Each structure stands twice: as structure tokens, then as C-alpha cells.
Amino acid sequence: MSVIRLVYLLRRKPDMSLEDFQRYWREVHGPLVASVATSLGILRYVQVHAVDDPVNLAMQEARGGMEPEYDGVAELWFESEEALAETMASSAGQEAGAALLEDEAQFIDLPQSPLWLNMEYPQVNPQGEALFATPRSSWQKLYFPLRLRRALGFDVGQRYWRMHHGPLIRSQAQAAGIHRYQQVHRIESEMEETLRAARGTVVDSYDGHAEVWVDRAVRREGVEVRRANERAIEDEAKFIDFARSTMWMGKELLFVDRFGWD
């Protein structure tokens, strides 16, 4: 099945603590999304909660400084862009969308929280191994929303990321402790503008994001680990605008999973 993914980077309202934000998102908004999943045609819905980990700052500083990390990411999968547009145009979809947006305003800084549609390009994806960074596991999910270097342009930058950087990371995944790696590329869509306008979004969308699953219980050191990280950053600098990108570690919570249903 060829599906699209909506990625929604979240910043909490200025008067909320991270703990209160994540609690409301998990206990109130998550169940609300699940309750209207059928009306909106949501195939899968995952929350990725940012974790306070010293590696966040270390990764950002290794790239010369980056934007502040977000408080979390909402990930929603749909059958297609056309199916999403059709659903949102229906009376049931409009009612469900309005209810979600009303609740988002209770805890999300909407203007500062960009969202866009994407296609996935799996790079390292072990067969028969379900990797999910649950709160009680030692797994963490690295989130790397990136903006391409302006001199390259959107199409050339995404092609380099997919055709050159992807193979490099695959070649050294074992040394770097990467168990799963996906590139998630933004697609240009009129639907993005509709979603942004409804929320008054002012932050520019990113050009996609990389996501990597690692086991934080396994300590990786040594010359080859260091060299793998150096090679990755050196190549990233060829197509990523680090100052306009960011990265952090997170934990995943699954609320809806309809893949494989009849």
C-alpha cells in the first residue's frame, strides 16, 4: 500500500510546562484523535514525545548549532493525499477536524508548530523486527527535521539525500548502532497550505526528516563509531542547512494502527 504521512511538529503553549503539555497530549488529545480516526481516514497515529537527554545538545553542537528541538511530533498516516482531501471535505471529516483543532489550541502553540505531508523512503529496515521506542524500553527514536541548503534547491537536495546520503548511512549502520533508518521526504501539496491556514502557522515547513532507532542501553564507543559519526556529519553538511534544522531523541506512543485491516 502506498500511503502518505502527515508530520506535525509541536511546540507547547508558552504558559505550559513540558510535563503538563505531554500529559494533556497523551491523556486527552490522543484518545480524542483515536475516537475520530475512522471519520478522518487515519490509518495510523503515533505521538513522539521529546525526551530530555544530554545527547540532544551534543548532536546539535556537533553540527555547529541548530534550532531548538520541539516538544513532540504527531504522525498520522493516510491512504493518499486524494483520500485525505475527500475525507476533509465530507461533513463528518469537517466536524472531526474542527473538534481536533479546537482541542489543539488548548495545549499547542499553533503558529509555531509546522505541519506538512510526506513520502517515506526506508533505508535500514530489518525484516521481522518491530522496533518501537516505547516509554519503558531502552529504545529511542532520533528525530532530525531538516531544511535543505538553498543553493541546491528542493528537488536536487532531496535527490542527494536519497541517492547519496542514504547509501552512506546504510554502509555504516552497524558500526553506528543504527537498527532502523528512514528518510521521510516532504511533498509539495495544496493540502499543506490548507492545514497551515487553519492553524495560523507562521514557521516554515521543513523539507523532510530523518528518523533513526537506537538502543540507548548499548554503549557504543571506539574509533569506528567516531569515524562513522564524522562521515555522516561531513556528508550532511553538503545538503543540509544545519542552522535551520534541528534534532532530538524521543519516545513513541501508538494510538491507532489500522494497517492490514480488512
Segment 92-104, tens digit of pLDDT: 999 999 999 999 9
pLDDT higher than threshold 90 for residue 219: no
Residue 155 and residue 208: Cα distance in Å, rounded?
A: 12
Residue 251 and residue 138: Cα distance in Å, rounded?
A: 10
**Does any domain span residue 37?**
yes
Q: Could you list the residue range(s) of the whole structural domain that residue 61 is in?
A: 4-257
Using CA atoms, how far residue 19 sits from 58, 100, 123, in Å, is 23, 21, 33
pLDDT higher than threshold 70 for residue 140: yes
- CATH number, residue 145: 3.30.70.100
- Mean per-residue pLDDT over the chain, rounded: 95
pLDDT score, position 262: 40
**Does any domain span residue 75?**
yes
**Does any domain span residue 74?**
yes
**Does any domain span residue 205?**
yes
Number of domains in the chain: 1
Model confidence pLDDT, tens digit, residues 14-31: 999 999 999 999 999 999
| H or E stretch at 151 | none
**Does any domain span residue 102?**
yes
The sign of the CA dihedral 80, 86, 89, 92 is negative
**Does any domain span residue 114?**
yes
User: Taking CA 117 as the corner, what is the angle to CA 115 and CA 118, rounded to the nearest 5 degrees?
Assistant: 125
Catalogue the E-assigned strands of 79-205.
Answer: 115-124, 139-146, 180-186
**Does any domain span residue 262?**
no
Residue 22 and residue 40: Cα distance in Å, rounded?
A: 23
Residue 190: CA count within 13 A, CB half-sphere: 3
